[in-house]
Amino acid sequence: MPDASDTSPIWGSRFAEGPDPLFFAYGRSVDWDRRLAPQDIRGSIAHVHSLRAAGVLEGQIAAELEAALVGLLEQVTAGKGLAILPEDEDVHGAVERLLGPIGGYLHAGRSRNDQVALDFHLYCKGAAEELAAAVQEVEAALLTLCERQGDKIWWGMTHLQPAQPVLVAHHWLAYFWMFERDRQRFLWAANQADRSPLGAGALAGSGIPVDPSLAAAELGLGAVYENSMDAVSDRDFALDLGHAAATAALHLSRLGEEIVLYASPAFGLIELPDAFSTGSSMMPQKKNPDGGELLRGRAGRVLGAHLGLMTTIKGLPLAYVRDLQEDKEAVFGIVDTTLAGLRLAARMLPALTLRGASVPHGDLSLATDLADHLVRKGVPFREAHHIVGKAVQAALAEGGDFDRLDEAAWLAISPHFTQEALADLLDPDLAPSRRGVSLGTAPQQVAAQLALARKALG
Ligand code: ARG
């Protein structure tokens, strides 16, 4: 039986010569899959229990094996890491070698194929839960921002052109709901990973009569795969996590873009704190929004890795194939990058100063309000649109806003545009209150929306 100093591949005996060094290095995954050591060892402890329950391991050996595994787990969770050797191919082989001769009993009824799938399920489930919690921090930061600085008014835009005045809180709450959907997607992804492939063996099902539900329950997994071939080759749960992360990274990117854009003096809507700004090595006056730019830029890595993994998997035949080893670097990168972005956003958002009140009295963005007024007076909307379009043309000819038109000009445009009506209609501070529909920007609806958001956050 091999001992811990035996560094030949665990599958080596049928070969007359060892692997070519370049080929071995190309396939060696231990540098990154060692990250799965805690999951791998916990899975092995559960497997020892299954083997003992199946009567395959006698009590004394099972106890020794478990003690050795627990020792390794303590070492790993204490941050000491595994003592990897250059000859270790992957985390599974390294753990087996480090167990010493007793490790030889461990792999009855289990293959690295169901083992690595199990490790990855446990990792993805934990990562999805961690990402959901990190998203929650971003959501909380957005709520703080809206509650503290949300009562101002600025232009809501379409096509990045002034459209209609909105409450600043209404604008940023849109991001809250994006991230709330992200959080639900992460929780769903955690649920997709909540399934145990143990018992599949290499592909056809374990030849040892283990009860797969025992190990699943011990590992806190809610279900067992129905089909062993699916169990060893399925990476849908990793793609589900990747999709959730890619969507969250995409939201972080849009958020980063708005921070960059609105912090520009050309917009002047956001003041960045010094702590989240950078300077220029040449231009002494510069204050740059690199945080927003990096949120925007780094999303590319997440989207690329997710697409890369889908591309890796799309043509694979059943059951296990080595291509599947590519899943880990992709998903680790996706998780690390998304987590870091979420943490930065949660820290940066409450530090922003949001400016408002950049909508002047009589601003052209009140045009829809004027048209709606005519509709309330019985004018068909298309005609109202046409009439107000003429008012816009006249205002532009006079220098730019509705305040340039006098009483006679307004009455010539429509008898419904009395001075009394216009006093309200041309006041931008009153515009949001006219959007009282449940999902609108009226202050009382935004207050209700904030309460809903608080409730969603729990
Ligand atoms: N390092 C491998 C992976 O990540 C483990 C499974 C290897 N199985 C095999 N039959 N070569 O996929």
- Count of C-beta atoms within a 10 Å radius of residue 23: 9
Rounded Cα–Cα distance for residues 240 and 63 (Å): 38
Q: Is 3 inside any structural domain? A: no
Q: What is the pLDDT of residue 3?
A: 59
Higher pLDDT, 13 or 150: 150
Final residue in a domain of this structure, among 301, 329, 354: 354
Rounded Cα–Cα distance for residues 78 and 99 (Å): 18
116 CA distance to ligand 1 centroid (A)?
7
Question: Which whole number is the average pLDDT over 174-203?
Answer: 98
Query: Do both 182 and 38 map to the same domain?
Result: no
Q: What angle do CA 300, 303, 307 make, to 5 degrees?
A: 135
Q: What is the pLDDT of residue 356?
A: 78
Q: What is the pLDDT of residue 11?
A: 80
Query: Do both 395 and 333 map to the same domain?
Result: no
Q: Is 210 inside any structural domain? A: yes
Higher pLDDT, 8 or 347: 347
Catalytic residues: 159, 280
Q: What is the pLDDT of residue 8?
A: 74
Q: Is 257 inside any structural domain? A: yes
29 lines ligand 1 (CB under 6 A): yes
Contact between 345 and 397 (Cβ < 8 Å): no
Percent of the chain with pLDDT over 90: 94
**pTM: predicted TM-score of the whole model, two decimal places:** 0.95
Query: Do both 122 and 222 map to the same domain?
Result: yes
Question: Which whole number is the average pLDDT over 46-60?
Answer: 97
Domain count, the chain: 3
Q: What angle do CA 347, 353, 184 make, to 5 degrees?
A: 45
Final residue in a domain of this structure, among 56, 87, 108: 108
Q: Domain of 69?
A: 10-108
Query: Do both 384 and 265 map to the same domain?
Result: no
Ligand 1, residue 29: give the atom nearest the CA. 1
88 lines ligand 1 (CB under 6 A): no
Percent of the chain with pLDDT over 70: 98
Q: Render pLDDT for 291-337 as a digit per residue (tens, 0 to 9).
A: 999 999 999 999 999 999 999 999 999 999 999 999 999 999 999 99
Query: Do both 373 and 397 map to the same domain?
Result: yes
Q: Is 126 inside any structural domain? A: yes
Ligand 1, residue 202: give the atom nearest the CA. 10
- If 0-12 CB within 10 Å is exposed, 13-18 middle and 19+ buried, where does residue 228 land? buried
Q: Render pLDDT for 215-258 as a digit per residue (tens, 0 to 9).
A: 999 999 999 999 999 999 999 999 999 999 999 999 999 999 99
192 CA distance to ligand 1 centroid (A)?
22
116 lines ligand 1 (CB under 6 A): yes
Q: Render pLDDT for 335-374 as a digit per residue (tens, 0 to 9).
A: 999 999 999 999 999 999 998 767 899 999 999 999 999 9
Q: What is the pLDDT of residue 364?
A: 97
302 CA distance to ligand 1 centroid (A)?
24
Q: Render pLDDT for 259-297 as a digit per residue (tens, 0 to 9).
A: 999 999 999 999 999 999 999 999 999 999 999 999 999
325 lines ligand 1 (CB under 6 A): yes
Question: Which whole number is the average pLDDT over 175-180?
Answer: 98
Question: Which whole number is the average pLDDT over 135-143?
Answer: 98
191 CA distance to ligand 1 centroid (A)?
24
- pLDDT beyond 80 at 39: yes
